[in-house]
A and B are shown apart, each in its own frame.
Chain A
């Protein structure tokens, strides 16, 4: 079975500082990994994905994430946080070897607050 863990419910960072939102995963085979962002009363918006290739992937709004197979992690990062980055962030995984290969499994989310 595939699963995702986001160990921090809340991350606070000062504007202009780097931010990291953590994600670890568990799959049977090779993972497809995704990050989504959710603003209040809205659906999820896609930020970036890792499928294969370069372990550092770049996405929307200056975000990037690093795939680390040995640590089974896919942490979301941004060099300089903006107040407008404050939102709920979800990591998700799809395991093509599992019986549920068609579905994305989401973590429980991390609330990011960027303080001015």
Chain B
């Protein structure tokens, strides 16, 4: 178990630029989640994959956000035309449970700063 890996750890970008984050889940975990966390708040659900299928998207996920998991392994989260309000920690998590009672395993996150 090598854990969930997220890259990069930090990203500073100018407003209007596009950014892409990568998440490598724990191998054999078929479920992958993206969350966003702002200072002083708990993580907020963005989207969820089961294998390569994106099964659920939050209303927080505007049309500037897109996530993919093309082969059911790693996932990418892209933000187009970034805004200062996008500054946050983006967390990826994985699990292999079908019954819903297994915990999520989180990566250390990608901290995005939009200037």
Contact = CB atoms under 8 A, between A and B. Distances in A.
**Size bracket of the A interface:** 20 to 34
A94 interface: yes
Interface residues of B, number: 27
Interface string B49-60: 010000110100
A34 B95 CA distance: 14
Nearest to A91: B42
Contact of A46 (B6, B91, B105): B105
Contacts of A104: 33, 45, 104
Interface of A: 4, 32, 34, 36, 41-46, 49, 51, 90, 92, 94, 96, 100-109
Interface of B: 4, 6, 31, 33, 40-45, 48, 50, 55-56, 58, 91, 93, 100-101, 103-109, 111
